[in-house]
Structure 1
């Protein structure tokens, strides 16, 4: 299993949501274009969306809300968010709740959770392989965004918990939209960059997470 991505410290960098209200690909063709619009240094595609292009869950971009709270699907069982004081976190949807989620400055509802409290989530799908996009957090200020070569969700969760691909122990990990949506871009301003991982048959996506300096 191959991991590619970028680690960062939330004390000097943050993630912001770039959402396309008119639908997938309506403003930005890929993660590179979305990141460049904000002078970002890296980006990945983010949340799931319906065949019609609507978010499959709640999305908050710079305080503006799109989509609706997903209470039923595993694809909305986890939440990445940033609150008004600039603190980012990953949590279960039941823990943050609809009311609190809607007050966040930035938010992506996605899933499933891959790792929670340093342990891989049990019962994840173990046979279907696909490129995966995901986000890692140590519970403090250390974060990582990126993708992996095709694998199952169960294999990915176990690898994150045991292999520590970011170089530190992962407390929480959240799966984002992968497969044909998987799109990772890293700027030349990042050591080891530039890097683009997006196949020719990728489909346009609804939103992105862009890494920017504070």
Structure 2
């Protein structure tokens, strides 16, 4: 995604006013137990404005699983190659990662399997930093982040969607696209998710901050990853079963996933 388009998109967001919507789950499948191992969950939501959104979710506990970022190379890798990369890296679930330029260069800092790519950037879009180290998984505002040794997985992305349990104000209410995100209760529970249907950033933030809508626990903070045609999801159910996949419609530069500790 070109930086110039992202800058225009952010300027347009500032002129938009958020539309409020109530989100109701339409599927009756029960949530897994909080102490369950990593699990896949498919969710269908309907808003009070009439929008229906299907989402694929990978729920996991950061005490048992670590964050991983895979660099698929500047030539970019199509969704058909994701399962091979995922298996080779020992990932149990993955989504597409952060933003990138048309030439494949990442937008913002990326640390993939301990290797640093690009540089830390202060573009308004990149309001959050998702990273992992030996202590666990962390999600922070860019202004609070300090780069240090021991970080082996990191992506800059944005915008922030939920903070302190509330939807962030001022998010776009105009661009309806498929979305990729990560969210946490900021204790130890996390969810990697991707939607099969389009919704605005404001709607996604509202859904994430609605109790029981996209997580079985209250979301304390959440971050948007690259969405639109880059949106993709992959989950390995194990036991010789075929992966559960939402195919990205374009090649991507990075994957964000989890592996067992």
Same fold, TM-score > 0.5, yes or no: yes
Q: Structure 2: which 5+ runs fail to align?
A: 1-52
Contact 1:31 1:184 in 2 (8 A): no
Secondary structure in structure 2 of the residue aligned to 1:2: strand
Could you report, residue by residue, the CA deviation over 1:148-181 in whole angstroms, capped at 9, with x for unpaired residues?
A: 2210000000110014311100111010011111
CA-CA distance at 1:34 after TM superposition: 2.2
Which residue in 2 is equivalent to 1:38?
A: 89
C-alpha separation between the residues in 2 aligned to 1:167 and 1:103?
Answer: 31
Contact persistence 2:74–2:103 (CA under 8 A)? no
Counterpart Cα distance in 2 of 1:182 and 1:189: 23
Query: 1:23 pairs with 61, 69, 75, which one?
Result: 75
Deviation at 1:111, TM superposition (A): 0.4
Kindly report which structure 2 residues correspond to 1:1-214, keeping only aligned pairs within 5 A, or say none: 1-25=53-77, 29-74=80-125, 76-83=126-133, 85-97=134-146, 100=147, 104-148=151-195, 149-164=197-212, 165-189=214-238, 194-198=243-247, 202-214=249-261
CA RMSD of superposed structures (Å): 2.1
Q: Which has the higher contact order (CA 8 A, sep 6+)?
A: 1
How far apart, CA to CA, are the structure 1 residues paired with 2:207 and 2:198? 13
- 1:193 Cα offset (Å): 7.3
**Residues 48 and 56, structure 1, Cα contact 8 Å, conserved in 2:** yes
Gaps (5+ residues) in structure 1?
none
* Deviation readout 1:61-90 (Å, 9 max, x if unpaired): 12211012120231x11110113x332111
Greater CA deviation, 3-12 or 28-37? 28-37
Contact preservation (8 Å) 2:67, 2:131: no
Contact 1:134 1:145 (C-alpha < 8 Å) held by counterparts: yes
Cα drift, residue 106 of structure 1 = 1.1
Q: 1:16 to 1:118 in 2, by over 3 A?
A: same
Task: Give the 3 Å change call, closer, same or farther, for CA 161–60 of structure 1 in structure 2.
Answer: same
1:170–1:193 Cα change, 3 Å: farther
> Counterparts of 1:101 and 1:53 in 2: how far apart (Å)?
26
1:67 and 1:179 mapped to 2: Cα distance?
Answer: 23
Structure 2: distance between partners of 1:154 and 1:31: 29
CA distance in 2, matches of 1:213, 1:205: 24
SS of corresponding position for 1:37 = helix
C-alpha separation between the residues in 1 aligned to 2:191 and 2:60? 6
